[in-house]
Amino acid sequence: MKDQYKTKKQLIEKLEVLRNQLVGLKKAETKRKRAEEDLKVREDSLQKVIEQTPNAIWISDEHGTVIRMNQALRDLLEITDGEIIGKYNILRDVQVIKQGFLPLVKSVFEEGMTVNFVIDYYTEKEKQVELAHKTHKVLQIVLSAIKNKDGKLVNAICQHRDITERKHAEEALRLASAYNRSLIEASLDPLVTIGSDGRITDVNAATEKVTGHSRGELIGTDFMDYFSEPEKAKAGYQQVFQDGFVQDYALEIRRNDGHLTPVLYNASVYRDEQGKAIGVFAAARDITQRKRAEEAIESLARFPSENPSPVLRVKRDGTLLYANGASYMLLHDWQLEIDKPAPLALQEAASETLTQQTRKMIDTEHRQRIISFFVAPIVNAGYANFYGRDVTERRQAEEEIRNLNAELEKRVRDRTAQLEAANKELEAFSYSVSHDLRAPLRAIDGFSRVILEDYTDKLDDEGKRYLNIIESNTKKMGQLIDDLLAFSRLGRQEIRVSEMDMGKLAKSVSEELKLAVPERKLNITINTLIPAQGDQAMVRQVFVNLLSNAVKFTRPRDTAFIEITGSGEGNENVYSVKDNGVGFDMQYVNKLFGVFQRLHSSEEFEGTGVGLAIVQRIIHRHGGRVWAEGKVNEGATFYFTLPRERRE
Amino acid sequence: MTITNEIEILLVEDNPNDVELTLRALKKNNLTNRVQVVKDGAEALEYIFANGAYAYRKVEHHPRVILLDLKLPKVDGLEVLRRIKSDERTRVIPVVVLTSSKEERDLVESYKLGANSYITKPLDFESFVKSVAELGLYWLLLNQPPR
């Protein structure tokens, strides 16, 4: 400084310079101040702009910490500067991190990018430092870097737009759409939407299945390409556009493997808000099953229609509902007409069977032919089915059998009457014989005796002998009459069946016979005899007659050996009486059992020739057989059988 | 034929031989003076019911016993029996059916109609006499008829 004060002039000059400098400085100062003021004005106005812009904005420093925000943001998120300024940093925002926007945000601060994303601020229990911690908001965010002249990031500005409402609306729409979609997908029927150009715009899973193509393959292609008759398919949707709908439009969907599915389409147009038709919604109904059922019904329907016998159906009110071809042919006299009253006989049968809920048979006559109908009421349906059969031949055969039977019965009756008459006659005859034949004998015998008693002194011995011959012959005649009557009575007498101890029976008879001929030496062996069923009195008579014969025809023997046996053989019992008597010649065996047939003279062996005939008759009446074996002088064996189970 | 004495036996028999033999048998038993013989069923009824030729009789004068043949002219023995047994006045008269028949139905029918006994006329004269005699003795001597 010492050097600066050398001259006044120099000093003045210096002073001048200094003054000038001072002025310059003052100017500069003013300029600076003005500049500063200008800046401040600019800053204030910027601040004002930011503050007043309707966009919700914050501004951060280069590290992301918010240094300023505007009223719009405060209003939007109901926040204050104190809560946010210097505290909130987007890089540490929990939702930003959670929802994966951190890399985006970083790119702004690190690379100076501008990013745009939508973040959903929902209120969580645990409060974190985040922008919208008081309210649930969905915000569209635009975050950009603010750089200086050197391109260095100095600030970041973040604009927020509230799209919460829009988001909700979108969500509702999305849900509604998903619901519709699920409805469409849930349908078992193939559903498809078609644009006005005939291209497929949407399909459901059922369509994928029936066509064999995926949804992706189908959408955008021509609807008509998937049918056996494309032109018909095209005509179909064109008709929908024209008329607004089609119903039960029959088509066949062709699957990618060639398989055809018969379907019926029901389709209608859908329109935009202006009412312009923008597409067709078409639903196909797979009628494979129905077709099959129809075919089955059709084939089943051939049973009645091809049936060569009449098949008809009649309604409860008597209307004819159905008649097959055979009905018209076989029932030609009936003039059948469908939906007209059925013939009266059928009407009555239908009504009766439906009312009583029972089946029945009816016969109708048609010029020489007889048709028998089985009537089956179908109560629920209110009609009766008639199944006819031509039974003319059978009825004729039945009639013939009836006639034959009637004739046979009449013949039997006639014959029975004749037999009864003959029987009565025979009875009367034998009755007469029994009375009238005996009376003269009684007189002959009686008066012979009177002569012998009253005139004995007037007769010589020869006279008395003659009278005795007369007497013995009358006795014999009496015996003959008795035997004959007994024999004839046998034919009429009722058989009283009981269990018979044959051994006991034979024994009692043989005891009696022994007593009758005490002078004879009889050796009668009775083996164990199988019991039988029959009329005890009659069978006893058989033993009496056979044993009497045996005793009689063994008379020439010193000792008579008689053996009785009886055992079961097959379904009959066989009994035999064997003796060591005079026997007989087998060539006369057939005469043995005839009435009054005798193989010996009465001088040799007395008898009337009725005994064996009676044996035969009794055994025959019991259903048994008799026969004999013998040899002259070597004895005889008589056999008889009795059935095991007696016929009633 | 005694008409003054009370008749002890009425013999209804159409066969004269049988009548004679019967009477002979009765005679042997000293019963002949008490026998009235009629030859057919009609006459038997007239006698029993006291009408026709026998109108002078009184029904109440019963024979002690009636020997009745079954096979008779005009009215048969079973009918006679039926009439006797269905009339209050005569049903008490003992009736012995005396016949040559051995038919069971005759026997059954006779008892059904109320016959008191049934005797088959034996062919053997001796046994015939014996049975007739026994009958006579039985009914006339041993039995006290109801009054």
Residue of A430, A434, A445 lying closest to B124 (CB–CB): A445
pLDDT interval class at B147 (50, 70, 90): very low
Q: What does the pLDDT read at residue B4?
A: 40
Does residue B40 form part of some domain?
Answer: yes
Q: What does the pLDDT read at residue A54?
A: 86
CA angle B130, B136, B142 (to 5 degrees): 115
DSSP B54-91: GTTS-TTS--SEEEE-SS-SSS-HHHHHHHHHTSTTTT
Q: What does the pLDDT read at residue A591?
A: 81
CA distance A78 to A83: 10
The answer to whether the CB atoms of A450 and B24 lie below 8 A apart is yes
Residue to test with chain B: of A442, A472, A477, A483, most B Cβ within 10 A: A442
pLDDT score of A337 more than 80: yes
Residue of A439, A445, A475 lying closest to B100 (CB–CB): A439
pLDDT score of B1 more than 50: no
Q: What does the pLDDT read at residue B126?
A: 66
pLDDT score of B141 more than 60: no
Mean pLDDT of A49-77: 88
The mean-pLDDT minimum among A248-257, A446-455, A569-578, A588-597 falls in: A588-597
- In tens, the pLDDT along B60-105 reads 888 888 889 888 888 888 999 999 999 988 988 888 888 776 667 7
Q: Three-class SS of residue B41?
A: helix
Mean pLDDT of A337-366: 93
The mean-pLDDT minimum among A105-114, A414-423, B21-30 falls in: B21-30
**Phi-psi label, residue A526: left if phi above 0, alpha if psi -120 to 50, beta otherwise:** beta
Which residue on chain A is closest to B104 by alpha carbon?
A489
Does residue B3 form part of some domain?
Answer: no
CA distance A532 to A567: 10
Q: Three-class SS of residue A69?
A: strand
CA distance B47 to B93: 13
pLDDT interval class at B127 (50, 70, 90): low
Find the largest Cα–Cα distance for chain B: 39
Check whether domain A187-290 has CATH 3.30.450.20, yes or no: yes
Q: Whole domain around residue B44: which residue ranges?
A: 9-141
Q: Which of A131, A128, A112, A110 is nearest to A120 (CA)?
A: A131
Which residue on chain A is closest to B15 by alpha carbon?
A439
Q: What does the pLDDT read at residue A357?
A: 92
pLDDT interval class at A2 (50, 70, 90): low
Which residue on chain A is closest to B19 by alpha carbon?
A443
Residue of A434, A441, A449 lying closest to B103 (CB–CB): A434
CB neighbours of residue A28 within 10 Å: 12
CB B94 within 8 A of CB B118: no
DSSP A246-312: EEEEEEEEEPTTS-EEEEEEEEEEEE-TT--EEEEEEEEEE-HHHHHHHHHHHHHTHHHHH-SS-EE
CB B10 within 8 A of CB B65: yes
Which of the 8 DSSP states describes residue A373? E
Q: How many domains does chain B have?
A: 1
The answer to whether the CB atoms of B101 and A447 lie below 8 A apart is no
Q: What does the pLDDT read at residue B7?
A: 65
Q: Given CB atoms, is A442 within the 8 Å cutoff of chain B?
A: yes
The answer to whether the CB atoms of B123 and A474 lie below 8 A apart is yes
Q: What does the pLDDT read at residue A125?
A: 54
pLDDT score of A648 more than 50: no
Total-model pTM: 0.43
Q: What does the pLDDT read at residue A573?
A: 94
Q: What does the pLDDT read at residue B5?
A: 46
Q: What does the pLDDT read at residue A348?
A: 93
Mean pLDDT of A515-531: 91
Percent of chain A with pLDDT over 70: 97
CA distance B92 to B77: 17
- How, if at all, do strands A360-366 and A369-378 pair? antiparallel
Give the burial string for A76-103 (b: 16+ CB within 10 Å, else e).
bbebeeeebeeebbbbebebbeeeebee
Q: Could you give phi then psi for residue B20, rounded to 5 degrees?
A: -65, -45
- In tens, the pLDDT along A5-34 reads 567 777 888 888 888 888 888 888 888 888
The answer to whether the CB atoms of B123 and A475 lie below 8 A apart is yes
Q: Which two tokens stand for residue A208?
A: 């994928």
The answer to whether the CB atoms of B102 and A434 lie below 8 A apart is yes
Residue of B99, B101, B125 lying closest to A445 (CB–CB): B125
Which CATH number fits the domain that encloses residue B106? 3.40.50.2300
Mean pLDDT of A398-402: 92
Sheet with A56-61: strands ordered across: A66-69, A56-61, A153-162, A137-147, A114-121
The answer to whether the CB atoms of A450 and B15 lie below 8 A apart is no
CA distance A219 to A229: 20
Residues in chain B: 147
The mean-pLDDT minimum among A12-21, A197-206, A577-586 falls in: A12-21
Q: Which of B96, B99, B92, B87 is nearest to B128 (CA)?
A: B99
Q: Which of A348, A264, A434, A269 is nearest to B123 (CA)?
A: A434
Which residue on chain B is closest to A483 by alpha carbon?
B102
Q: Name A460's Cβ contacts closer than 8 Å, sequence gap at least 6.
A: none
Does residue B1 form part of some domain?
Answer: no
Topology (CATH level 3) of domain A495-643: Heat Shock Protein 90 (3.30.565)
Residues of B whose CB is below 8 A from A455: none
- In tens, the pLDDT along A202-243 reads 898 889 999 999 988 999 999 999 999 999 999 998 899 888
CB A66 within 8 A of CB A155: no
First and final C-alpha spacing in chain A? 183
Q: Which of A484, A485, A468, A481 is nearest to A438 (CA)?
A: A481
Q: What does the pLDDT read at residue A350?
A: 94
- In tens, the pLDDT along A624-642 reads 999 999 998 899 999 999 9
E runs forming strands in A501-545: 521-529, 532-535
What's domain A53-168's architecture?
2-Layer Sandwich (3.30)
The answer to whether the CB atoms of B103 and A447 lie below 8 A apart is no
- Residues paired with residue A373 on neighbouring β-strands, in sequence order: A362, A388
- In tens, the pLDDT along A469-521 reads 888 888 888 888 878 777 777 777 788 889 999 999 999 999 999 998 889 99
CA angle A617, A622, A625 (to 5 degrees): 65
Mean pLDDT of B103-118: 82
Residues of A whose CB is below 8 A from B71: 435-436
Is residue A45 within a helix (H) or strand (E), and if so which, with residue range? Answer: helix A8-52
Which residue on chain A is closest to B24 by alpha carbon?
A450
Does residue B146 form part of some domain?
Answer: no
- Amino acid identity of residue A641, one-letter, is T
Q: Which two tokens stand for residue A436?
A: 């009238």
A151 vs A533, higher pLDDT:
A533
Look over chain A and give the mean of its residue pLDDT values, rounded to a whole number: 87
Q: Could you give phi then psi for residue A120, rounded to 5 degrees?
A: -105, 110
Q: What does the pLDDT read at residue A475?
A: 83
Q: Which two tokens stand for residue A391?
A: 């039974």
CB neighbours of residue A182 within 10 Å: 11
Matching CATH number, A303-390, of 3.90.480.20, 3.30.300.30, 3.40.50.300, 3.30.450.20: 3.30.450.20
CB A173 within 8 A of CB A81: no
Residue to test with chain B: of A445, A475, A487, A488, most B Cβ within 10 A: A445
